[in-house]
Each structure stands twice: as structure tokens, then as C-alpha cells.
Amino acid sequence: MPRNALYASIVFVLAVSAAVVSFVEGNWLGVVWVLLAGVASNIAWYYLRKERLAKAAEGNQFG
């Protein structure tokens, strides 16, 4: 797993946790945490897909 994807996944988990805590406490600031979780999720998927495509291109280089 690429390092950037790992960091983004950690941010995603922390943001979801913060959103849950905020909503349980009745604080609407949790909406910001949900948005941050969405961005972090997209970043993680981007770097995972980028690595997968790079490995596929590397495998097809001599084929």
C-alpha cells in the first residue's frame, strides 16, 4: 500500500470517528468531518488505483 494511501486511510478513519462523536454530542460541526472523510477517501482510492495501474503497466512493458 502506498504511503499516501495509508495516511489518507488513517485520516479517513479519524475523521469518521470525529464526525460520530460530534453528532452524538449534538454538534453540527460533524458535517465538516464528514466532508473531510470524503476527501480523504478519494485521495486513498486515487493513490491505490495509481499504484495498481503502474504495476500493470510495468508488467506489460515487456509483453
pLDDT for 16 beyond 70: yes
Q: How many structural domains compose the chain? A: 1
Say whether 62 sits in a helix, a strand or coil. Answer: coil
Q: Indicate whether 52 belongs to any domain.
A: yes
The answer to pTM > 0.75 is: yes
Cα separation, 13 vs 6, in Å, equals 11
Q: Indicate whether 15 belongs to any domain.
A: yes
Q: Indicate whether 37 belongs to any domain.
A: yes
Give whole-number Cα distances, 26 to 22, 33, 38, in Å: 6, 14, 21
Q: Specify whether the CB–CB gap between 33 and 18 falls below 8 A.
A: yes
Q: What is the pLDDT of residues 27-49, one digit of tens each?
A: 999 999 999 999 999 999 999 99
Say whether 9 sits in a helix, a strand or coil. Answer: helix
